[in-house]
Structure 1
Amino acid sequence: MSQEFNPADPFALLRQFWQTAAPSTPPAFLPPLSAEEIERKLAELRVIENWMAMNMGMLAMQIKTLEMQKAALDALAKPDK
């Protein structure tokens, strides 16, 4: 059950790792033996890297938003002198 690599699917690499491979193909966790296999794995890892970077950006934005909300609440809560 061989599937083409889909860059839109961030879990393709993990799914491939856990699938049972045909006896003629080495398991996904063994080092690749051909240049094509290395290029394919590099492409998969770049997709995962970009997906993780996007999630880190969204997390950083959420943290900054909460910090701004806290600062606004703190400013409103302090009595004027």
Structure 2
Amino acid sequence: MSNHDSITDPLGFARRMWGNMGLSLPGMVTPTFNVEEIEQKIKDLKAVENWLKMNLSMLQMTIQGLEMQCVTLNAVRAMGKMASSYGAGVGAGGASGNEVVPAANSGNDALKQAALWPLTMLQQMQEQMQQVANAAAEAKKAGEATKTDDPSKPAAKS
């Protein structure tokens, strides 16, 4: 009868081998047919998954907070440099070369301009995006023109 059991139980050899060593067969090797045990494993693994997701989101929020802190400190540092350069009466040499430098005795104007740095940066980004959009449109027109000029391809019907 024991020979018949080893034929119908494909993991019988592994169980006997592990059992002879005094160790039980690991749970991942021996599949279980107990539905409650499987459901419990699923619940446990989902709990671990949710815990890991929570830790990941907390880590991402911490990273974003530190990035915002870094950006804010850099902006304050830049505003301080601009204010000190205007206050010291630095001439047309300016920080970036394309800024409008007010007179040396107009410290209030310098602070007003420094406070408008987000607007200036936004305007510069919009200008760059418009330039990229214009270049893409021109490239598309040039591509369409070369397709219609190609004699090997039939002309597009209008």
Higher share of residues assigned helix: 2
Computing the radius of gyration over CA atoms, which structure comes out larger, 1 or 2? Answer: 2
Aligned to 1:60: 60
Q: Which amino acid aligns with 1:27?
A: P
Once the two structures are superposed, residues 20-51 of structure 1 have per-residue CA deviations (whole angstroms, 9 ceiling, x without a partner) of xx74xx52223332111110110110110011
Alpha-carbon RMSD across the aligned residues, in angstroms, is 2.0
Aligned to 1:48: 48
TM-score normalized by structure 1? 0.62
Say yes or no: does 1:75 pair with 2:75: yes
Question: C-alpha separation between the residues in 1 aligned to 2:41 and 2:54?
Answer: 20
Would you identify which runs of 4 or more consecutive aligned residues in structure 1 move more than 4 Å? none
**CA shift for structure 1 position 73:** 0.9
Aligned to 2:26: 27
Aligned to 2:8: none
Gaps spanning 5+ residues in structure 2: where? Answer: 1-22, 83-113, 115-158
Question: C-alpha separation between the residues in 2 aligned to 1:32 and 1:69?
Answer: 52
Gaps spanning 5+ residues in structure 1: where? Answer: 1-21
